[in-house]
Amino acid sequence: MVELTRREFLSGLAGFTAAGILLGCSRPSTPTPVEQAGKPVYGGTVIFGSPADAEILNPILHNDTASSNVTDRIFDPVLRVDPLTGQPAPWLAERWTVSDDGLTYTFYLRRGVRWHDGEEFTAHDVKFTFEAILDPRTRTVRKSNYDMIVGARARIDGKAAETEGIRVVDDYTLEITLQEPFCPFLIQGMVRGVIPRHLLEKSEDINRDEFNRRPVGTGPFKFKEWVKGDHITLVRNEDWWGRPGGPYIDQYIRKVVPDSTVVTAQLKTGDIDVGSIEPSDLDELEREEDLTIYRYDDLGYTYIGYNVSRPPLDDKRVRWALSLAVDTDSIIRTVLRGEGVRVAGHIPPASWAYNPNIKPPEYNPQRARQLLEQAGFKPGPDGIMQRGDQTLRFTLWVPAGQKIREQVAIIAKDQWKQIGVDVDIQFQEWNAFLERLRQGNFDLVISGYSLGVDPNPRAFWHSAELAPRGFNRIRYRNPEVDRLIEETVKVPGCDPEKRKRLYWRFQEILADDQPFNFLYSLKALVAIKRSIVGPNPTTFGGVFHNLHDWYIAK
């Protein structure tokens, strides 16, 4: 997820997909006695209450966290994101090798893995999955995740019936050849759930197949029922390859609870066992004896963005002055109730590529004012700074209904006033807000980004991705940043240390340029019933990565 949608934000849900989260383990606010108790017991149901219903239960088609929360339990990927380190780890593939030139990947798949309908899983299923994504008729935004594979372009454009670079060597060996080295390939391409060839090969139209609402996978849980708008029920897959007997719990239910207030209420009544919560509900829920609160660092962050294509925001000194004038630390203390981390750049502390040497702008209104004066601004008759015919009056756009961001906007407006900058706040419905960003119709904006597990920042900062086409919505262009972004993905041997150095440099440039006032990364907060043993939410795995290990203490 790149930007947190309104509903996700409301529920503080952001983190639980693969794009999720870090710093190893989270810690429960208080240890539960049963956690030491030991022997897992079978049985019981875990109910997760969350605002959104899933859209479509096919991992190659969906793009919402609700759907992936369900399909991640039903389908297995070839590799998974290690929940603790964020690195690719064996899953359906027991191991893999990379050729010396970094172009050919060979995956050795597990034997004896069966689909929920009893058919055997083979390398043909993996090839089928990627071919389906690249098929021009398939309506998915994932095609470019695979466009570096040899022959993928021709396949996307409908000029080839098959992708040359995806080769089934035998039933348990798959070989993928890339056009050029692409370091995030494994974590971007190979962690997607594999779909069954035998059920979808003959599909008239995969976009509309009944499979998408009655999925069949190889994962620890099997699909049971989906009452649209109400709940989805999954049951234990006793024949799961990962553990004889399958998961300990009988059922996992994802229940739609449209309002965060009601999530809190249902956590208290016991109608749901797991729910994401907001900092404002913390005090209330921490008092509940039946609940444990887990916190973990999120890969997302909230920012105030400057439209660098609009004067005088194209002047770095103006941007720095605006950033220095906002007291982010006190926002974290008060609005976030301490449940956030200050960030200084695009890559937050939870990521391996984070550069700890960059310091965020310290709150300093005097310095901010000096900068404006250096830039030639003087207070006008109404106290608002001006330079020639330019007056520092801006409109700040805020997504409506996102309580925390609304409060941040109000505080910032007040503090900007102190340095002679007049800001008008406008709230707008989420989708309309995104359209405004896409069209570049704004001065200042509060929004959020969430990084993928791989920190590749191309989508947001490369000039090839300028809005309205791509996600670079503040219209940032910097040739050196472009070059660094391109280099990081093709470092010889994908040496993490070398990639890190390039990312560090990228963060330095961005922090100096200050196209955003990078504000904070809000901790993900989740409440789980105390009798449930096993949850260990992490930055990279989210809440449910080890659901198959959870059990309910008797």
Partner 1 sequence: MTKFVLRRLLQAIPTLLGISILIFAVIRLAPGDPVNLFFDPTIKGEDLERMRRQLGLDRPLYIQYIDWVTNLARGDFGRSFVTREPVLSRILERLPNTIQLSLAAVVIALLVGPTLGILAATHRGGLIDQLVRVLAVVVDAVPNFWLGLMLILVLAVQLRLFPSGGMYTLRGAFMPPLLDRLWHLVLPALVLAAGPIALYSRLMRTEMLEVLSQDYIRTARAKGLAEGVVLYGHALRNALLPIITVLGGTLPFLFGGAVVTESVFSWPGMGRLFVDAAYSRDYPMVLGIAIIASVLVVLGQLLSDILYGIVDPRIRYS
Q: Least Å distance between CB 329 and partner 1?
A: 27
Does 457 bind partner 1 (CB under 8 A)? Our answer is yes
Strand bridging mode 340-342 / 516-522 = antiparallel
CA angle 150, 151, 154 (to 5 degrees): 150
Length in residues, the chain: 554
Among 55, 288, 443, 487, interactor with partner 1 by CB under 8 A: 55
User: Please, which residue, 3 or 72, has the CB nearer to partner 1?
Assistant: 3
Residue 228 or 378: which CB sits closer to partner 1?
228
Query: Which parts of 69-108 interact with partner 1 (CB under 8 A)?
Result: none
Q: Which one of the spans 113-121, 215-223, 255-263, 517-525 is the region binding partner 1 (CB under 8 A)?
A: 255-263
Say whether residue 451 binds partner 1 (CB under 8 A).
yes
One-letter amino acid for residue 76 of the chain:
D
124 vs 198: CA distance, rounded Å: 9
| 309 lines the binding site for partner 1 (CB under 8 A) | no
422 touching partner 1, by CB under 8 A: no
Q: In what order do the strands lie in the sheet with 173-177?
A: 93-98, 104-109, 173-177, 166-170
What's the min distance (Å) between Cβ of 29 and partner 1?
22
Supply 151's token pair. 């022959």
Binding segment (CB under 8 A) for partner 1, from list 85-93, 117-125, 249-257, 302-310: 249-257
Residue type, 320: W
Strand locations in 51-92 (E): 79-81, 88-90
Q: In the window 123-162, what residues touch partner 1 (CB under 8 A)?
A: 139, 141-145
For residue 421, give Cα distances in angstroms to 306, 376, 513: 14, 14, 20
Which member of 30, 99, 330, 431 binds partner 1 (CB under 8 A)?
431
Distance separating alpha carbons of residues 460 and 451, to the nearest angstrom: 10
Residues 6+ apart with CB under 8 A from 390: 311, 312, 377
Distance CA 83, CA 13 (A): 17
By CB under 8 A, tell whether 47 contacts partner 1: yes
- Residue among 141 and 161 whose Cβ is closer to partner 1: 141
Q: Which of 119, 171, 271, 487 binds partner 1 (CB under 8 A)?
A: 271
Among 127, 197, 236, 255, binds partner 1 (CB under 8 A): 255
How many chain residues bind partner 1 (CB under 8 A)? 69
Does residue 169 touch partner 1 according to CB under 8 A? no
Is 316 a binder of partner 1 (CB under 8 A)? Answer: no
DSSP for residue 53: -
Q: What is the DSSP string of 446-487?
A: EEEEE--SS---HHHH-GGGBTTTSSBTT----HHHHHHHHH
Residue with Cβ nearer partner 1 (372 or 484): 484
Which one of the spans 34-42, 333-341, 426-434, 479-487 is the region binding partner 1 (CB under 8 A)?
Answer: 426-434
Lay out the sheet containing 385-387: strands in order across.
Answer: 378-379, 385-387, 390-391
Q: Which is nearer to partner 1, 162 or 284 (CB)?
A: 284
Would you say 319 or 458 has its CB closer to partner 1?
458
- CA 28 from chain center: how many Å? 22
In sequence order, the β-bridge partners of residue 95 are 108
Judged by the rule CB under 8 A, the positions of this chain that interact with partner 1 are 1-3, 5-7, 19, 45, 47, 52-53, 55-56, 61, 63-64, 139, 141-145, 184, 188, 207-208, 212-213, 227-231, 253, 255-259, 261-262, 265-266, 268-269, 271, 429-432, 434-436, 438, 449-452, 456-460, 464-466, 469-471
